[in-house]
Structure 1
Amino acid sequence: MEEPKKNKEQEEPQAEKAAEAENRSTSENELEALRAEYEQLRVQSAEYLDSLQRERASFANYRRRVDQENLQIYDIALGDLIKIFLPVVDDLELALKQKPQITEVDPWYEGIALTLQKLHKTLESKGVQKLDVKPGDEFDPAIHEAVTHEDHPDFSGGQVVEVLQNGYKLNDRIIRPALVRVAK
């Protein structure tokens, strides 16, 4: 009876060792599977991060483009609106030039001058500037519109002889060129 007891005692440590080896093998397999899953998730996470960063950059570019387009639309609309008022400015300036010779201060004349001054300040506050054009300047088709070409003894060919109507620009964009007479 002692022999079966010894076999049993010898078999138990071997069974434990086998179970331990099997557990170790299973643990290593699980660990390897977890490492592979971790690596796969790390790669997927990096791809998602890259995709997110690209989308953010794309959205920022879109936003900047839309803001720029809105600003351009605003400038065009403002320029169109201002063009409507320029003939009024021209008429007021013409009225002031045609002032009859009066020795006393005329309230009508002063009222026209103040109205024109307010209108100029309002236009300037929106970025409108009168083009600086004067006789003797070289003709520039970007800012001048020639009404006539004529021989003139005091000016050489291509020079502005007279400014018939002032030109204006809104910020850096010409909204109305100056009407001029040009020497041949």
Structure 2
Amino acid sequence: MEEQEKCEATEKIKEQENDTLPNKDSSSMEKKITELENEISNLKDLYLRKQAEFENFRKRLEKDKENFIKFANENIMKDIINFLDNLERAIDSSKQSKDFDTLLSGISMIENEILSSFDKKYSLKKFGKPGEDFDPSQHEAISIEEKEGAKIPEIVEVYQKGYCYNNRVLRTAKVKVAQSKN
């Protein structure tokens, strides 16, 4: 009898489990599976498109960077071309007129134009003049001369001008320095 009671109890438990689980037909489950598979497929497609879009963006950015580097000096080159034109005119003028003072004046004007333009547009400044205090961060002492009464090292002669770009020394001025005999 006990065995029969066990079987009946097992059947009742199985019936109760079936009652608690929702009864869904296989077609609605297949429909849900199909919907989920479609959603997965759409998301995979979207992922691949976004990945391709990002790769194209990265390539465009790299190309833009290359072009920026390639043409970064374009404005400077245009200015240099204008200065070269002025030098060419000065040379042509000197061939017609043998007046040295006129040639010197023209070349000095071109130098001033170059320095002024580069100072305004690019913050390029020339430095190193006799009488300035010696600054080792801007000047390179090529020779030293002893001078009576010199308090601090002072520039007495400039062999080569120095240049700074945006307050950064590009080239130090090569100078002769005077210092006291002490």
Tell me the TM-score normalized by structure 1.
0.49
Tell me the TM-score normalized by structure 2.
0.50
